[in-house]
């Protein structure tokens, strides 16, 4: 069974393996021509979450198969599960193991809109800059240009020259830039969104393309056919005729704590993975990843404390265990505070704490 697995959850980076991913099914092929740039390397937000090493498989077999299904089918992965079950970290683990570079992150809040994920256009900043430049040249103000194309004042060249400086692609917009290797995009806590966002998102992810009307309007002028804009990695990337179409479909992880249901149309187009909270060997692997080989045995009492009180049905978070171990390493040695006291202090079930 192992053979078909591209992502194996083993923690050791193997950037060559992604090249063994077969071509997408015909209905998930996209026509963008890849840009030459490699993605930026993974950053601290990944290493912070994953720790130094992950010597054992962190995901179970079923989870591995579903993650790989999403990679093969070029479908977004919808990950649900309790807080602390490792939903957000999953995106980082895939990027790290397959060498897919920095994880693009879009944390969703109730105000999030599709547009922000794709790109933003700073029309006011551009207008102000144009006015200042005009003032400097002539000592007066240009006619106001509200369509952002700089057509109204006759000073077009200086104004249009910089439109790319006022457009910044968001995480979704950057993930869809054409590339040979898929980028990893984490759309975190999608269940916090406004009711329209999942459906809006669905269209873009289905088509793998989006338009930037501010650039489309300029595309008939040869000097503005291709404009360089800033992407989410802070790089300047060329956009031609105001349209972006992906090449390799990004590996999209959408997480949800199950605070609300998603439309059936979205579920149909996703691979759904329900993560169980880490227990037993996954928990041991996780402790070793953050505290080094053998740490699971050294802190066996804390791990057991964590797992045993789990039977009460109260919500406990992996982070509470990690925090307890960290504190034990310092406080117990220096201040003679018992390990159990620390465990009791930090590993309180969530419900009890909220009642205070
Ligand atoms: N594969 C892994 N390797 C190392 N650490 C991990 C791994 N998966 C999860 N963790 C650790 O477990 C903790 C919880 O993981 P994470 O934040 O991904 O959970 P979550 O399901 O997204 O939680 P929430 O719903 O609260 O956002 C983090 O501190 C993370 O560092
Ligand atoms: Mg999370």
Main-chain dihedrals φ then ψ at residue 65, nearest 5 degrees: -65, -40
3-state secondary structure (DSSP) of residue 7? coil
- What is the pLDDT, as a whole number, of residue 215? 94
- Nearest to 251, CA basis, from 201, 204, 185, 302: 185
Flag whether pLDDT at 150 surpasses 50.
Answer: no
Any idea which of 56-60, 216-220, 231-235 has the lowest mean pLDDT?
56-60
Whole-prediction pTM: 0.86
Q: Which residues pair with 92 in a beta bridge?
A: none
Mean pLDDT across 192-213: 94
Between CA 317 and CA 262 the distance in angstroms is 25
- Does residue 139 or residue 214 have the better pLDDT? 214
Asked which of 135-149, 208-222, 276-290 is least confident by mean pLDDT, the reply is 135-149
Residue-range domains of the chain with CATH: 2-117+167-274 (3.40.50.300), 299-349 (no CATH)
- Whether 93 is in the pocket of ligand 1, judged by its Cβ within 6 Å, is yes
Residues 6+ apart with CB under 8 A from 76: 70, 187, 205, 252, 253, 254, 269, 270, 271
Q: Confidence band (pLDDT; 50, 70, 90) for 159? A: very low
Tokens of 277: 């909270």
Q: Whose CA is nearest to atom 8 of ligand 1?
A: 86
Percentage of the chain beyond pLDDT 70 is: 85
The predicted pLDDT at position 336 comes to 58
Measuring from atom 3 of ligand 1, which residue has the nearest CA? 50
Contact of 119 with 169, CB cutoff 8 Å: yes
Indicate which residue's Cα is closest to atom 9 of ligand 1.
Answer: 86
Q: Tally Cβ neighbours within 10 Å of residue 124.
A: 10
pLDDT at 3: 85
Task: Judge whether 236 and 229 are in contact, CB under 8 Å.
Answer: yes
Span 13-59, pLDDT tens digits: 999 999 999 999 999 999 999 998 889 999 999 988 888 765 455 67
Please give the angle made by the CA atoms of 220, 221 and 225, to the nearest 5 degrees: 80
Number of the ligand closest to the Cα of 318? 1
Residue 330 CA, ligand 2 centroid: distance in Å: 27
**Rounded mean pLDDT, 189-210:** 93
Read off the pLDDT of each residue in 168-187 and give the average, rounded to a whole number. 97
189-198 pLDDT, tens per residue?
999 999 899 9
Closest CA to 81 of 349, 352, 278, 250: 278
In what order do the strands lie in the sheet containing 251-256? Answer: 104-107, 184-188, 251-256, 77-80, 271-274
Tens-place pLDDT, residues 238-261:
999 999 999 999 999 999 988 778
Question: What does the mean pLDDT of the chain come to?
Answer: 85
Per residue in 67-107, pLDDT (tens digit) is 999 999 999 999 999 888 899 999 999 999 999 999 999 99
Q: Whose CA is nearest to atom 29 of ligand 1?
A: 319
Q: Compute the average pLDDT of residues 106-112.
A: 96
CA of residue 223 to ligand 1 center, whole Å:
47
Per-residue confidence band for 126, with pLDDT thresholds at 50, 70 and 90: confident
Q: Is residue 287 within 6 Å of ligand 1 at its C-beta?
A: no
């Amino acid at each position: 069974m192992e053979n078909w697995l591209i992502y194996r959850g083993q923690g050791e980076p193997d950037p060559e393996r992604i090249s063994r991913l077969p071509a997408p099914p015909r209905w998930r092929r996209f026509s963008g021509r890849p840009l030459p740039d490699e993605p930026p390397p993974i950053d601290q937000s990944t290493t912070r979450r994953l720790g130094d090493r992950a010597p054992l498989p962190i995901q179970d077999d079923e989870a591995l198969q579903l993650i790989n299904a999403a990679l093969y089918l070029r479908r977004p992965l919808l990950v649900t599960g309790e807080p602390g079950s490792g939903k957000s970290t999953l995106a980082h683990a895939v990027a790290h193991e397959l060498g897919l570079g920095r994880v693009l992150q879009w944390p969703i809040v109730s105000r999030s809109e599709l547009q922000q994920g794709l790109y933003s256009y700073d029309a006011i900043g551009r207008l102000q800059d144009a006015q200042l430049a005009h003032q400097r040249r002539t000592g007066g103000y240009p006619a106001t240009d509200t369509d952002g194309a700089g057509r109204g004042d006759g000073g077009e060249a200086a104004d249009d020259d910089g439109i790319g400086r006022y457009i910044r692609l968001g995480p979704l917009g950057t993930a869809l830039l054409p590339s040979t290797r898929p980028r990893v995009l984490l759309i975190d806590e999608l269940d916090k969104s406004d009711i329209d966002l999942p459906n809006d998102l669905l269209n873009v992810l289905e088509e793998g393309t989006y338009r930037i009307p501010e650039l489309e309007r300029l595309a008939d002028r040869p000097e503005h056919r291709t404009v360089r804009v800033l992407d989410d990695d802070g790089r300047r990337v060329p956009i031609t005729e105001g349209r972006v179409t992906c090449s390799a479909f990004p590996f999209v992880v959408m997480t949800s704590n199950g605070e609300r249901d998603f439309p059936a149309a979205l579920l149909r187009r996703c691979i759904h993975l329900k993560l169980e909270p880490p227990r037993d060997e996954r928990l041991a692997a996780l402790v070793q990843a953050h505290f080094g080989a053998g740490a699971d045995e050294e802190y066996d009492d804390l791990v057991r404390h964590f797992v045993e009180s789990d039977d009460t049905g109260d919500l406990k978070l992996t982070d509470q265990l990690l925090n307890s171990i960290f504190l034990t390493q310092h406080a117990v040695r220096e201040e003679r505070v018992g390990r159990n006291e620390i465990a009791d202090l930090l590993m309180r079930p969530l419900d009890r704490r909220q009642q205070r």
